[in-house]
Chain A
Amino acid sequence: MVRESRVAEGDLSDEALLAGMAVGEQSAAVSFVRRYQRRVFGLAYSMTGDAGVAEDVAQEAMTRVWRHAPVFDPRRGSVASWVLTITRNLAIDALRLRRAVPTDPDEFSGAALRSGEHVPEDAVPRGDARDTVRAALGVLPVEQRRAVVLAAVYGRTALEISESEGIPLGTAKTRIRTALMRLRAAVEHAEGARDG
């Protein structure tokens, strides 16, 4: 009977773990940390390129998730999106505070693409939006990829991108918009293919 009253931690959804954390369940927090630490640290490290800074960011992000689990609103997006956005924002703050140099967006994209370990057409059968976006990112023109990564990951405005890339503001806006629209089209195409 013991077997029936137990479940593998992997059986619980992210939402279930977060709900447990919201009511102070330490076991839920432990499972959540173990599930997310590689992604959280990976994002922080990909952005900062510094293991020490990345650890500070990742630890603070996880601590905030634990502390703020009760205010997570599933209607606003997924748990992964919430956790990684917290991480991203902390990494941006850390880079600004320390006046550190962020990794080049091409390095971020390259690491992301290498982590996919498959070609773009594989994205559809795998059925993961991350795979689809990763694959679509890989086929964007490099200037559009840089622009959308600078905006989405590094939190740069179009004006900041125009200055850092040495291009007119209108061009920066166009690159950001075109890149995001192409990524969206890829996601819609993949979802359409999955839905038959």
Chain B
Amino acid sequence: MGDDTRAFGCERYAGDLAELALGSLAGRDRARALDHVESCPRCAEELEQLTRVADTLVQVAPEVDPPMGFEVRLFERMGVTPADRSHRRWRVPRWVPVVAAAAAALAVGLGLTLTSSTAPTVSAPARTHDGVVSAPLVEHGETVGRVAFGGTQPWMSMMLADSSARGTVDCVVVTKDGVTHHVGSFVARAGYGAWIAPLRVAPADVRSAEVVSPSGTVIATATLG
């Protein structure tokens, strides 16, 4: 680690990083080590790598068949009713995502929900406390999804539900100077999809976002400002 190590005082914390990664460091030692990691990119990276290995250690346990009836008891507890158990293939669910988890986590962070069973509503753009701007995607006057923009390294997320989008569609944004920018293409399955991508324009400059079919028809629009 050399001079950088001395500059950051890393050698004092070298022994703590492993325990920090394993989650077994406690009290003041943990607080001190975390303080150091926050200000030391080298140790932060080291901690990330060690944490990845520590997490994998929990995963090496053997797989074991649960006792008879486990699944039935579990579904009852979860309030879940399995469909035809012999049916091992099922319809593409309405939430099939491209990068769904990221978008779902984001949506939750924004307090967004999308369900097809509720009556569609159209609401105004919203700005969250961390500067993220979101707006409904509207198709023929009905909300069919949501877009959000934000980040110091700008990103854009989009979720569609019950839209008429099918197959590969384009996402474009129109900036306040009237210029259209292509952000990316993604696959909407049966009108549903979730997607997140880097944005190459400043979120504050975005006037609207559109979902566009391959033929150039605008399927849905979100107006931001």
Contact = CB atoms under 8 A, between A and B. Distances in A.
A23 B56 contact: no
B92 A5 contact: yes
B119 interface: no
Contacts of A153: 57-58, 61
B31 interface: no
A28 B93 contact: yes
Interface of B: 14-15, 17-19, 21-26, 49-67, 70-71, 73-75, 77-78, 80-83, 88-97, 99-105, 108, 113-115, 190, 194
Contact of B91 (A6, A78, A80, A133): A6
A15 B101 contact: yes
A43 B61 contact: yes
A112 B61 contact: yes
Contacts of A174: 15
Given A15-B100, A16-B101, 12 more contacts: A9-B90, A15-B101, A27-B90, A29-B80, A33-B80, A39-B59, A74-B105, A81-B56, A129-B52, A177-B18, A181-B18, A187-B56
Main secondary structure of the interface of A (DSSP, over half): helix
22 contacts: A6-B90, A16-B100, A26-B81, A28-B95, A29-B78, A30-B75, A37-B66, A41-B70, A42-B63, A46-B62, A47-B61, A59-B77, A73-B105, A80-B59, A108-B61, A114-B62, A115-B60, A151-B19, A151-B22, A155-B23, A176-B24, A181-B18
B77 A23 contact: no
A38 B80 contact: no
B96 A46 contact: no
A144 B93 CA distance: 46
7 shortest interchain CB distances as A-B pairs:
A19-B100, A115-B62, A15-B101, A42-B64, A38-B63, A152-B57, A177-B18
A9 B89 CA distance: 6
A173 B104 contact: no
Interface string A95-129: 00000000000001001101110000000000001
A37 B74 contact: yes
B108 A70 contact: yes
Contact of B64 (A46, A62, A129, A149): A46
Interface in A1-36: 5-9, 12, 15-16, 18-20, 22-30, 33-34
B97 A112 contact: no
Nearest to A14: B101
Interface in A158-196: 158, 173-174, 176-177, 180-181, 183-184, 187-188
Using C-beta atoms within 8 Å of the partner chain, give the interface range for chain A.
35 or more
Interface of A: 5-9, 12, 15-16, 18-20, 22-30, 33-34, 37-39, 41-43, 45-47, 51, 55, 58-59, 62-63, 66, 70-75, 77-81, 84-85, 88, 108, 111-112, 114-116, 129-130, 133-134, 137, 148-149, 151-153, 155-158, 173-174, 176-177, 180-181, 183-184, 187-188
Contacts of A177: 14-15, 17-19
Contacts of A180: 18, 21-22, 50, 53-54
Contacts of A62: 74, 78
A115 B63 contact: yes
A154 B153 CA distance: 39
Contacts of B82: 26, 30
A130 B60 CA distance: 6
B95 A19 contact: yes
A186 B128 CA distance: 43
Contacts of A26: 80-82
B153 to A, nearest CB: 13
